Amino acid sequence: MVVPSPISFWTKKSRAVGIPTVDLSLDRETMSESIVDACEELGFFKVVNHGVDMEAVSRWEKEGAEFFAKPAPVKQRAGPAAPFGYGCKNIGCNGDTGELEYLTLHTNPASLFERSLTISEEPENFRSVANDYIEEVKDLACEILDLAAEGLQIGDKYAFSRLVRDAHNDSVIRINHYPWGKKKGGAPQWDQPSPKRIGFGEHSDPQILTLLRSNDVSGLQICTRDGLWISVQPDPNAFYAIVGDAFQALTNGRFASVRHRALANSARARMSMMYFGAPALDAWICPVPELISRGSPCLYQPFTWGEFKSAVYAMRLADSRLDLFKKVQPPSS
């Protein structure tokens, strides 16, 4: 069942509408239909009664808060993010910037081991907390992907989740910290987010599925297909699922990756945590056969995740990366 969630604020270029909510305590048919509806409508939905161990989430959030509270020179030892490690303001290598600092980590144990040595004075504990969080959110992501496959009536219900569960998957976790705006003298500069100060610019996620959870500070916005921005009410007890570019290709455009941004104009600091579920670098991304027909021809050329990832890194944040892999459709007769 899709239930609208309330919206707390909007600007002249945004509007208040309901965000779909998927309740994972309901029967599978209802859940799978709700997920398909939400992915087709917005490419974005709220997940409640998800079964994730929130203690594991809280411990990971605490690690992030403790890291960002450190002096800048200490944090910089964990950077620069290229692409993993600590970053501040610079997003990627093509000139994109934002009012934030962040930690980006690969979920691969070897990479996590190496990065933990520069992030924490207790790297073993840091890795343990990170791994507990990764397992929880990966399981949730895979459950959502399985339900999506069922809702699309795909014969192999693991067609999507198998890509993320692959031992060589390229999944990533990230913590974004958006400092609160201050005037001279330390007083808050803004009461509510507004597009005047962008924390993280407009973009779509290249991976299959993103799970996002933030503290109770607003700032996240998503863009509808008609170009209007929707402000998302934060809920620390829920996750938000975001359709990525790879998922759009896998579903032959049935699901559309959603463009979103974060506004950093809050009078309070905002911290968000993301899990980006991605396949192995050599995994092929192409529409599943059940979603191709005479009336729905294949929209995308097959590509590997590694090829797509290389294209992503060569482009600006707001660019439409999937356009590079669109098939030229023959004219209708």
Specify whether the CB–CB gap between 272 and 214 falls below 8 A.
yes
CA distance 169 to 281: 7
Beta partners for residue 268, in sequence order: none
Cα–Cα distances in Å, from 330 out to 192, 262, 317, 324, 325?
Answer: 48, 39, 31, 17, 16
Tell me which DSSP letter residue 290 carries: G
Judged on CB neighbours under 10 Å (0-12, 13-18, 19+), 38 is: buried
Pairwise CA distance, residues 208 & 276, whole Å? 7
Active site residue 270: yes
C-alpha 127: how far from chain center? 21
Nearest to residue 77, comparing CAs of 38, 35, 121, 119?
A: 119
Say how far apart CA 175 and CA 64 lie, in whole Å: 7
Identified catalytic residue from 115, 259, 261, 270: 270
Q: How far apart (Å, rounded) are the C-alpha atoms in residues 194 and 206?
A: 25
Task: Supply 310's token pair.
Answer: 């290389």
CA distance linking residue 141 with residue 253, whole number of Å: 20
Residue 164 is encoded by which pair of tokens?
């993320």
Strands in 18-95 per DSSP E = 21-23, 44-48, 85-91
Active site residues: 270
